[in-house]
Amino acid sequence: MYRILVVDDEEKIREVVREYGEFSGHKVYEAWDGIQAVKMCRENEFSIIIMDIMMPRLDGFSAVKEIRKYTNAPVLMLSARGEEYDKLFGFELGVDDYVTKPFSPKELMARINAIISRDKGRGNKKQLDFNGLNIDLDGRSVYVDGNKVDMTPKEYDLLVYMAKNKNRALTREQLLRDIWGYDFYGDDRTIDTHIKMLRSNLGPYRNYVVTMRGIGYKFEAENE
């Protein structure tokens, strides 16, 4: 059973998520604005947070920034707007997924299941070392020349996936499917944007992420 927090000032949206969530056997909690969501996250643990962007008092982006001080629970953003800027800004904040209203409740639940299943699948204590680039799989941390690097959850997942598939050409479609965890009906720019942010964070090791023209990307590095 998942503990789902849905944050939206539209009562109808909260009702739909509650109906489908409870039908799937999960516990659904509701907040009608960002301030209430932050208070609830201070006092409770949730499996996933579904967050609207446009809300009174405290918008979704600001709420996510504050909530990240208390929890690393996955966040799925909802919005009536479909601008690319909103999506890119959300990904930079560490948002795991993004759904534009109106949405299919069944698809929403599929995305929720994919996100949580992926998080639960992480486990054995391991570390991947590539010269000065070190990935702590147990602590979900990345170090560049000994300095911890701040990455969004998706950047981290992308780096780990590519590192585990070192020297293999990976298509954008494959990355979307295996990292996002479902058939992602999105734009290839989603991957390209995350690759750009990842390279920026890798600093002197940015060249480990190689562009394969007409295909996708590949991680090329030697293990220590």
List the domains of the chain with CATH numbers: 3-120 (3.40.50.2300), 127-219 (1.10.10.10)
Contact between 165 and 219 (Cβ < 8 Å): yes
Q: Is the pLDDT of residue 85 over 50?
A: yes
Q: Is the pLDDT of residue 117 over 90?
A: no
Choose between 81 and 151: higher pLDDT. Answer: 151
pLDDT at 185: 53
CA distance 19 to 109: 11
Q: In 173-206, which positions are buried (b, 16+ CB within 10 angstroms) versus exposed (e)? A: ebbbeebbbbebeeeeebbebbbebbbebbeebe
CA distance 192 to 217: 9
pTM passes above 0.75 = no
Q: Is the pLDDT of residue 123 over 90?
A: no
CA distance 136 to 121: 16
For tokens 């170090």, the residue is 143
CA distance 3 to 73: 10
pLDDT at 120: 61
Q: What confidence tier does 187 reach under pLDDT thresholds 50, 70, 90?
A: low
Q: Is 79 exposed, middle or buried (0-12, 13-18, 19+ CB in 10 A)?
A: buried
Average pLDDT of span 90-106: 84
The two three-digit tokens of residue 9, written as one number? 């000032």
pLDDT at 102: 86
Q: What confidence tier does 119 reach under pLDDT thresholds 50, 70, 90?
A: low
Average pLDDT of span 144-167: 90
pLDDT digit string, tens, across residues 16-72: 999 999 999 999 999 999 999 999 998 888 989 999 998 988 999 999 989 988 887
Contact between 41 and 49 (Cβ < 8 Å): yes
Q: Is the pLDDT of residue 141 over 80?
A: yes
Mean pLDDT over all residues of the chain?
Answer: 86
CA distance 138 to 72: 14
